[in-house]
Amino acid sequence: MKRWIRAKGMVAFVVVSLLMVLVWVLVVDTVIRRTIETAGTRAAGARVDLAGADLSLFPSGLELTGLAVTNPDSPMQNIVEIGSLRMDLDPGYLIRRKIIINAMAVEGLRFNTPRKTSGEVPELAEDRHPGEKSDAAAVSTAAMEKVCGKFTMPALSIPDVDTILAGEPLEALTLATGLGKKIEADQARWEKALTRLADEKTLAAYRDRVEKIKGTGGAFGALLGNAGEIQQLQADIRNDLNRLKEAQTAFTADFKDYQNQVRDLSNAPVKDINRIMDKYSLSPSGLANMSRMLFGERLCGWLGTATGWYRKIEPHIGRLPGADGGAPEQQAPRRGKGQNIRFAETPPMPDFLIRSMKVSAAVAAGSLTGKAENITLAQHILGRPMTFAFLGREMKQINMLNLIGTADYVRPDAPGNHARLTISGLALKHLPLVREGAFPLTLQQATGDLSLTLQMEGTVLDADLQADFKEARFLTAADAPQTAIGTAIGSAISGVSRFSLSAGISGTLAAYTVDVASDLDQVLRAAAGNLVRKEAARFESALTEQVSNRMKGPVAQARESLAGLGGIDSELSRRLRLGNDLLGGMKLPF
């Protein structure tokens, strides 16, 4: 009887099996480690190091240890470091070339850890756009200056009035100068009009005609013969007198109007003074949002850092099909390579998916634990958004931290991100608020609770921050230059132990606005209000004096022109009086 198992065959089988095991032990883990390092380096744009990789088949899983990803903007720093990463792979999908991780555990997650050697890859660094090489501080500063402006303490010093008036046209000055010229032009017009009216010479001619008629008198018949001539003479005199009366009526109306305008010149500068005061003078209402000056720089700096981090991951989000708002581009398969056709699946499954991931992270404030589900770049295939939740308790400066959120790219053309962060027992110490040399302000200590909600629909950002603080103590530098406004604000804020703060962010990442409000506004406005009003009164007094000095010449000229115009009225009255006297002396009989 022949043996079913031959000795030579058994030896060959054992040798091949041992070789396969040996290759598995010695080569597979190394190949996986090298592959992850190479692919990760290419994706991150800087060196990715992996201390070890362990692939197991029964059960199927992979464990990575000592993963460090270099920050491409700071090669001597790791942007993220992971102590160990264990994952449970779904073997059924591995056969179909899909990486489906049922469960993943991330431990020892840390951020911004130092490196012993530079992680820069020269050829990858050269490929990066020069504008991308900016550290987080630069991003924060740029965002603060571009969006929030430069926060400076308002100076309560009287502006230089001469400098202001050199660049500010005075409507009252233009009005006075124009009025004087207009009166002079009207005087010339009326003087010309007087030449066309009956004057003393005309009235003397009428008197000569009267005397001539009187010289022919004597007989009653002669008087009757001259009656027609007398009536014509009276009619001529009345016509000239009527024209004089009409001219006097028109002149009187113009003259009274000019009198009113000249009288109003004394009040004309008020409008200019108020306009300049509103533009250049600091009023109590200008201190209505002092909280923006105190907290805006710090808030905008944090916001700039957050947007900088978002821009780092944005290129990866942009790989989503349709994330750019358009349909995925259809590319023809390369010759001889064929085309990978995705057939309908039940349930549909992306090429890469982490169903559940547990995270244990170490941050500056302490330790965080969290969980995320449905992690994939193909949510439109999976049909479910990614959700995450992180919890921190008894941290260094925080009693409790809770972060929950959703990243929804199920519809790539209409993505939506939602997150809510609540922190209780936040202990702040030695937090610089204002770095300006004239008024350096530090929040020496405070304990608070805050709530932050964030929504992002497409590219539209909407965030709201609400915070309440107690046991607060503010500190101003003793060696800082003392200003009136700085002293007033410093004295007022030193007595504040509780305050609330709210901030709203709206717009897009490229163009957003930040609104800051606090109940400190009332305290600071009340403290500085009297000082502001005092300085504003001094400025108004100096401004009024300068404007009045500039108005003296044009106003005097307008009054002088008005006085000259008054001579026209006197002349018209004199001619009317002479005409009326002449007409009154022509009663019959002579």
Note whether 388 and 410 are within 8 A (CB). Answer: no
Segment among 104-108, 212-216, 333-337, 462-466 with least mean pLDDT: 333-337
pTM: 0.60
- For 274, the 3-state DSSP assignment is helix
CA atoms within 13 A on the CB side of 160: 4
Q: Comparing 4-8, 263-267, 293-297, 411-415, which segment has the lowest mean pLDDT?
A: 4-8
- Report the percent of the chain where pLDDT is more than 90: 18
Per the DSSP assignment, residues forming a β-bridge with 455 are 418, 462
- Give mean pLDDT, residues 151-156: 58
Q: What confidence tier does 134 reach under pLDDT thresholds 50, 70, 90?
A: very low
> What does the alpha-carbon distance between residue 103 and residue 86 come to, in Å, rounded to a whole number?
8
Q: Report, as an integer, the average pLDDT of 224-248.
A: 76
Per-chain mean pLDDT for the chain? 79
CA distance 515 to 148: 9
Grade residue 448 by pLDDT with cuts at 50, 70 and 90. very high
Cα separation values, 4 from 7, 9, 223, 312, 584, Å: 10, 10, 179, 64, 166
Specify the pLDDT at position 212: 76
Q: Which of 5-9, 46-50, 209-213, 473-477 is the least confident region?
A: 5-9
| SS3 at position 359 | strand
| Mean pLDDT (whole number) for 77-105 | 89
**Per-residue pLDDT, 339:** 62
The average pLDDT across 364-375 equals 88
Percent of the chain past pLDDT 70, that is, above it, reads 76
**Amino acid residing at 253:** A
Residue 471 or 73, more confident = 471
Q: Lowest mean pLDDT: which of 25-39, 82-96, 121-135, 230-244? A: 121-135
DSSP code string of 107-164: EEEEEEEE-SS----HHHHHHS-GGG---HHHHHHHHIIIII----PPP-----HHHH
Specify the 3-state DSSP secondary structure of 102. strand
| pLDDT of the residue at 390 | 93
Mean pLDDT across 313-319? 57
Q: For residues 473 and 331, which has the higher predicted lDDT (pLDDT)? A: 473
User: What are 456's two structure tokens?
Assistant: 């992002």
**Residue whose tokens read 């169903």:** 355
pLDDT score, position 102: 93
Mean pLDDT of 173-199: 84
Asked if pLDDT for residue 447 goes beyond 50, the answer is yes
- Checking if the pLDDT of 331 tops 80, the result is no
Long-range contacts of 76-80 (CB under 8 A, 24+ apart): 76/114, 76/115, 76/118, 76/119, 77/112, 77/113, 77/114, 77/115, 78/110, 78/112, 78/113, 78/114, 78/115, 78/119, 79/44, 79/111, 79/112, 79/312, 80/109, 80/110, 80/111
Are the C-beta atoms of 400 and 369 separated by less than 8 Å?
no
Distance CA 194, CA 569 (A): 11
Mean pLDDT for 391-406 is 89
- Whether 157 shows a pLDDT value over 80: the answer reads no
Higher model confidence: residue 404 or residue 536?
404
pLDDT score of 288 = 55
Give pLDDT, residue 137. Answer: 45
Least confident range of 53-57, 135-139, 199-203, 465-469: 135-139
Taking every pair of Cα atoms in the chain, the longest distance, rounded to a whole number of angstroms, is 194
User: Hey, which of 324-338, 428-442, 445-459, 505-519 has the most confident mean pLDDT?
Assistant: 445-459
3-state secondary structure of 203: helix
Query: pLDDT at position 478, please?
Result: 67
Q: What is the pLDDT of residue 373?
A: 95
Tens digits of residue pLDDT in 492-545: 888 889 999 999 988 887 778 888 888 888 887 777 777 777 777 888 888 888
Residue range 90-108: average pLDDT? 88
Distance CA 273, CA 172 (A): 10
pLDDT(143) > 70: no
Domain ranges of the chain: 161-285+549-584
State the pLDDT confidence band at 204, using cuts at 50, 70 and 90: confident
What's the pLDDT at 427? 92
Q: Which amino acid is at 302?
A: W
What is the pLDDT at residue 486? 73
Q: Helix %, strand %, coil % for the chain, to 5?
A: 45, 30, 25
Q: Helix (H) and strand (E) counts for the chain?
A: 14, 13
